[in-house]
Structure 1
Amino acid sequence: MVKNALQAQLLKAGLVDNKKAKKLTKQVQHEQRTGQNDDATFKAEIDRAKQEKIAKDQALNSEKQRILEEKALKASIIQMIKQHKVQQTDGDIAYQFIDDNKIKKIYLAQQVYNALVSGSLVIAKDQDSYACLPKELAEKIDQKMQGFILVNNNTENNSQTTDEEDPYAAYVIPDDLMW
């Protein structure tokens, strides 16, 4: 028996005989059961899906690798800060600086305060506290990753350019002004 209308029309027109129609319907049924119809498109779709999955996995792996490298770099910087910080900094002179848009105050000894103002020492963030570091180490840390060095009184950066129209150009404001 004929399964669809097209086959019936072809049989009536005499273009296909009964035997050939049955053979074609059996072949279509066999292809549907075994999944051989549109085999090339299925393979192409499977290959495309595999390629997309591989690309996605590579992107995720590179992102994970970047995060791990960043964590390792942060850990090494924290270790450098802990090893090289100036130990005897406690004193009675207050030094104020900005950290995360908040004014922070630490109390320093006079010698540490003078070194900090002159630029030979810097203030770095040491997890939840602050540490005074030598300037050379601070430059190395700042090259590796930004955000750890909070106060760097570099004398080259403090040279102010005066504007000719500025009425207060003759009055120099000292950096170590005590309030």
Structure 2
Amino acid sequence: MPSLQDQLLKAGLADEKKAKAVKNEKRKQRKQQPKGTVEVSESELRARQAREEKAEKDRQLNLARQKEADRKAIQAQIRQLINANRLDRAGGETAYQFVHDRKIKKLFVTDTMADQLARGRLAIVLLNDSYEVVAEGVARKIMERDESAVIALHERKADDQGDDDPYAGYEIPDDLMW
């Protein structure tokens, strides 16, 4: 089956020069077109957009899962710190009162614990809906992870050296001249 061009040449309606010129022009146009350009259909655009939306949704879901895993890890660290460092309150007869969630709570501790709680050397922390007493350093570590876990921690005063101050019994005179 001869092409249309061949049929036109046989019939004498076209000459060979024009046929070659048209052939060369078509070849040049084909070569000038970039090879990677393909018409993108509407369905392909919608499919690509759906994939991008799904990828963004998956990223958000993974981010939420990661945050939840981090929160659980922090809670586990706090639980471990409290369980390892809580002080024994057995035999405590002194009621120490503190505020939690705008309610006054009462915790029975020893006399020395009550004094140290008031001075800021001990702190009250919340563990599984129960209150525990821990040292100030442990309470500060817990506060770094979650401030809401520490219920009562008083600030130490600058002049409070504590019981281990070797010069506690010696007063410094005001009229001392050097």
TM-score tier after normalising by the smaller chain length: 0.5 to 0.7
Q: 1:147 to 1:90 in 2, by over 3 A?
A: farther
Q: Distance in 2 between matches of 1:54 and 1:114?
A: 58
Q: Distance in 1 between matches of 2:90 and 2:125?
A: 13
State the 1:39 CA deviation.
6.2
Query: In structure 2, what is the equivalent of residue 133 of structure 1?
Result: 134
Q: Are the equivalent residues in 2 in contact too, given 1:122–1:152 (CA < 8 A)?
A: yes
**Alpha-carbon displacement from aligned partner over 1:53-91 (angstroms, at most 9, x marks no partner):** 010011001101110110111011011101101114541
Query: In structure 2, what is the equivalent of residue 87 of structure 1?
Result: 88
Q: Which amino acid aligns with 1:115?
A: Q
- Structure 1 runs not aligned, ≥5 long: 1-37, 158-179
Provide the aligned length of Structure 1 versus Structure 2.
120
Question: Which structure has the larger Rg?
Answer: 2
- Structure 2 runs not aligned, ≥5 long: 1-38, 159-178
Query: In structure 2, what is the equivalent of residue 100 of structure 1?
Result: 101
Query: Aligned Cα RMSD in Å?
Result: 1.7
Query: In structure 2, what is the equivalent of residue 18 of structure 1?
Result: none
Q: Distance in 1 between matches of 2:49 and 2:99?
A: 53
Q: Are the equivalent residues in 1 in contact too, given 2:87–2:134 (CA < 8 A)?
A: yes
In terms of mean alpha carbon deviation, does 148-157 or 125-134 score higher? 148-157
Percent identity of paired positions between Structure 1 and Structure 2 = 28
Structure 1 consecutive aligned stretches of length 4 or more whose deviation exceeds 2 Å? none
Q: TM-score, normalised by structure 1?
A: 0.63
**Alpha-carbon displacement from aligned partner over 1:129-169 (angstroms, at most 9, x marks no partner):** 11111101111110111211010111259xxxxxxxxxxxx
